[in-house]
Each structure stands twice: as structure tokens, then as C-alpha cells.
Structure 1
Amino acid sequence: MTSLGRVRRPSQRLLDVAGLLVRLGLAAVWLVSGWLKLADPGQTYLAVQAYDVLPESLIGVVATSMPLLELVLGVLLLAGILTRATAVLSAIVLLVFIAAVVQSWARGLTIDCGCFGGGGQVEAGETRYPQEIARDTGFLLLAVWLMIRPRTLFSADGWLGRGRGRTRDEDVELSLKDSVDEAKGT
């Protein structure tokens, strides 16, 4: 707070650094998760099967495509390409993961989520559903941040935007002007 009682907004630089860390953090999550699943496809198959929600004919498709999707999301976020769209897709995938864990917990299944490799049946009392839900909710918050504020430092999105001859400050000014014009109805 300032001496006049107004709340002080974080500096643009601080938000830029936070955005970069959020983008790289979520990229790391997807890259590690996808790589661990791709490295052990048999275990990934068992993890998907253990949720007991898909018909047998789709288990292999999901077990094969999930790590590839995660790797693509990770690479796009790492490079900062289509950041907002990648964040939206990340949020959707994370919501599906959270729902899968919740339904497993509600149904009394005793499985490891398989989120970072492994997965499948575990002994009674060995599940960590609350921790898995909390972790994935944290990752979901990272995706939401990038949906709201997709421009980050060192991103291809930022470089491509400046390729039109504008600086970041000019982009922000134009965005604010557009928002004001839209609010006025002009």
C-alpha cells in the first residue's frame, strides 16, 4: 500500500518475470510427464486401464496419444508459441486429469494416478488422491495465469508480435486503447 492508502500494482517487469517462470514451469511439467510416460508405454497402458473408464479399444489409443500430447504442450510452452491456446488446452487436459482422479477416489479404486510415469493398482492405503488433486490444481492455476496473461519474456509469441514493428510497451498501449474503445462502444 502507498502512503495514500491505495494498493500498489506490481511492476510490469515483475509480472513479466513471473509469467516467464509460470510458462517454463508448466512446460517442465508437461515435458517430464510426457517423457516418463513415453519411456515406459506398457506402464502407461496399465495406468490408463486402471482408471476403468474407457472401453478396452480406446485404452491403447489414449495411452499412446497422452504422452505425445503432453510433449507437444511442453514444447509449445517452452518456446512460447501459441501460449494462450496452449494454456487453454493445458487447462482442459488438467481438468480431465483431476476429474479422473476424483472419480477413482469416489469409486474406491486403489490406483496410482500415473501422472509422472508408473500408475496402475496399488495396495489399499497407498493412494494419494488429495495430494494428486492439489498438485494438478496448482498446475491448473499456472495454465489459468497464462490464459489471462499469455505474453511472457523470451517467447516466440512476443517476438512475432514485435515483428510488426511495435515494442512491448506499444502493444500494451494499443491493447489498453482497444479495451477503452470497446468499453465506450466505439
Structure 2
Amino acid sequence: MLDVVGTLVRLGLAAVWLTSGSIKVSDPGQTYLAVRAYDVLPGGLVHPVATALPLLELALGLFLLVGLGTRIVAVVSAVVLLLLIVAIAQSWARGLTIDCGCFGGGGQVAAGQTRYPQEIARDAGFLALACWLTVRPATRFAFDGWLRSGRAEQAVEERELERT
């Protein structure tokens, strides 16, 4: 049963990263505006971060989709999500009026249009999924399991050869 839950968690988090990364890749100008709006990076880093973030999200999504390196990808996902939560919280604390840009859009918004509590709660939920996979990365239909079973078979064969 836990493998089924883990599989749903893995595929759900993969969908989050693939959706977010795809939206950002399709509108790099808007992604740039979203990253710049946080006002935490030096000007020279805004463009590299705005370029790399969607690619990282797509990579995380693809690795989770196929179930390859699930624990490592979950840890990286958790770190990225923590950074996003901190970035949103600091924007809120500093009184910035921005849209997080997590799923497209982003940048400056009118004072009454911020949704910081909802954005933090949503990302905290995604963080919980990443934590689940960090603790329990075993899932169904994953390359990790296929690779583990292949190594197990190889170890059995090596032991049998040693006995003869």
C-alpha cells in the first residue's frame, strides 16, 4: 500500500515540476520579471536564475516521472521548495506586492492582490511530498526499482559463482 501512495506522491510532484517548468520555459520574459520582483538577487544573477530555474524544474519533473534517483531528486526538490517558501515569506515580510510566479505570471501586483499565505501553504504541501519521497523513495513503476532488482540479481549470480 505504501508503494502505491509513494507512486502517487512521486507522480504528483513530477506533475508540479513539469507544469511549473513548462510554463516558465514558454515565457522566459515573464520568468525574468518574476525572479527580479523578489528583489533579493544582484542584477547580474537575475537572468541566470530565471534561465536555470525552469530547466531545473523540468529536470526534477522528468527524473521523478521515470523514478530515477528518487531520493536525491526529492532532497533537491525539498531544498528548492524551502528556498521558494523563504523567498515568498521575505517578500511578504518586506511588504513587497508581488505574485510569486510559481506557475507563470509573477512580478508586481496591486497591493490587494498578493496571496502569500496561500502560496506558502501550497509550497509547504509540495514540500511534504518531497519529504515523503526522501524518507520513502521506493515506488512502483520506477527505474530505481528496476535498477535495484538488477543489482540484486547480479549479486546473487556473483555469490553463486564464488561458491563454484
Q: TM-score range by the shorter chain?
A: over 0.9
Name which of 87, 103, 128 aligns with 1:141: 128
Alignment of 1:22-171 (within 5 A): 22-165=9-152
Deviation of the 1:165 alpha carbon: 4.0
Q: CA RMSD in A?
A: 0.7
TM-score (norm 2): 0.92
The corresponding residue for 1:15 is 2
Instruction: List gaps (5 residues or longer) in structure 2.
Output: 154-164
Distance in 1 (alpha carbons) for counterparts of 2:151 and 2:102: 40
- Which protein has greater RCO, CA pairs closer than 8 Å, 6+ apart? 2
Distance in 2 (alpha carbons) for counterparts of 1:50 and 1:86: 27
Deviation of the 1:35 alpha carbon: 0.3
Aligned residues: 153
Distance in 2 (alpha carbons) for counterparts of 1:165 and 1:123: 58
AA in 2 matched with 1:146: L
Distance in 2 (alpha carbons) for counterparts of 1:78 and 1:109: 35
Runs of 4+ more than 3 Å apart: none
TM-score (norm 1): 0.81
AA in 2 matched with 1:98: I
Instruction: List gaps (5 residues or longer) in structure 1.
Output: 1-13, 167-186
Residue 125 of structure 1 aligns to a residue whose secondary structure is helix
Residue 40 of structure 2 aligns to a residue whose secondary structure is coil
Compare CA radii of gyration and give the structure with the larger one.
1
Deviation of the 1:127 alpha carbon: 0.3
Deviation of the 1:119 alpha carbon: 0.1
Deviation of the 1:101 alpha carbon: 0.2
The corresponding residue for 1:173 is none
AA in 2 matched with 1:128: R
| Bigger fraction of residues in helix | 2
Deviation of the 1:164 alpha carbon: 2.5
Distance in 2 (alpha carbons) for counterparts of 1:57 and 1:124: 28
